[in-house]
Chain A
């Protein structure tokens, strides 16, 4: 991944405790290599990720935000990932109007057994962000 250029994006990943984080754990156990640009924040459910967390990440220099939760219908808390999906839909529209490329925000699903899938999600997303370049905004203090 580092061959593409000198630009090394900062990616914040919000992983749900039951699926996303377990998948990241499994990817490690499987000795799967994926890009090290991802900074992982564990949350109890992807529905817990508030839009303010994502905006805060962008304001403080993140080039992309990745949310990984359970597959739709498999949420540990019944419908948290549907709420996360809707929040991301709204926020993508909001970000576009405020001047950030909405592709910098990505939500995806990986169950606890899908270590390989998780690694692919991360690599694909980071490749996409590298192609987009550094984030459009500068550091803003809220």
Chain B
């Protein structure tokens, strides 16, 4: 008698870091994961497609037209569809391609001789979107890679059949760094190129840290190893609203009398603010062509 819940992990365009995070969680918690069985995963186990699975886990983002078909097919096959990782939830790093013209990307990587209309590769999607625009996702676990405790929580909830609700507090709630009463930015620094005071809030030091708008759940793991938050857990509000509010609050924090403020030091502001979420942004102004 097989009472195990069947799992299918199907990767789209991604780096397979989410599978590694899943295996890592699996390794430390055998009792819980004995209730599950992976029956399909091209990276880990078998790649023979079953007809039905209980839980379909999608990692990565949609990039080719084939990916959409695959996604829709697995959406029908699985009872519960879980989006694992920032790429599946918000578009992730591949979403940054929206800043570029596709032809220029092809020119850079392959050759200018190849045009979009005549090449023998799978057809690229013009505009990268998050998979939530194609199918309904039942549970979304963000993170790049997803934190171990959230994955364990996900499988506990899958076993009980309950919905999983992500925490609605910001990373600053778990941040161990010291802050002062008056939050003032006196100069803008580039992270890792200029010295910063240890154990002091990154924003007060002048390094743009996305902690205030990013959802917690990761135990501030980047900040504990002295790296500013990059926003992989997704934002607390509507994505564009959060980004613009962050811009607004940072500019209000800047000390107007300081002469060291040089905004041009911030290279690639959009890439910084939308590092994981550009694909699901509604503010896609980007001119193509």
Contacts and interface: CB of A to CB of B under 8 A. Distances in A.
A133 to B, nearest CB: 13
A98 B248 contact: no
| Interface residues of A, dominant DSSP | helix
Contacts of B286: 98-99
Interface of B: 99, 240-241, 244-245, 247-248, 250-252, 254, 256, 261, 263-264, 266, 268-271, 273, 282-287
Given A97-B99, A97-B270, A99-B287, A91 B240 contact: no
A6 interface: no
Nearest to A135: B285
A1 to B, nearest CB: 27
A103 interface: no
A141 B269 CA distance: 23
Nearest to B287: A99
Identify which of A89, A94, A98 gathers the most chain B CB atoms within 10 Å of its CB: A98
30 contacts: A47-B252, A51-B244, A52-B244, A52-B248, A55-B240, A55-B244, A59-B283, A79-B256, A83-B252, A86-B251, A86-B252, A86-B256, A86-B261, A87-B247, A87-B251, A89-B251, A89-B263, A91-B247, A93-B266, A95-B285, A97-B269, A97-B271, A98-B285, A99-B285, A100-B285, A136-B287, A137-B285, A142-B240, A142-B282, A142-B283
Interface of A: 47, 50-52, 55, 58-59, 79, 82-83, 86-87, 89-91, 93-95, 97-100, 136-137, 140-142
A65 to B, nearest CB: 14
Nearest to A94: B269
Nearest to B241: A52
Contacts of B287: 99, 136
A37 to B, nearest CB: 22
Contact of A98 (B252, B263, B283): B283
Nearest to B256: A82
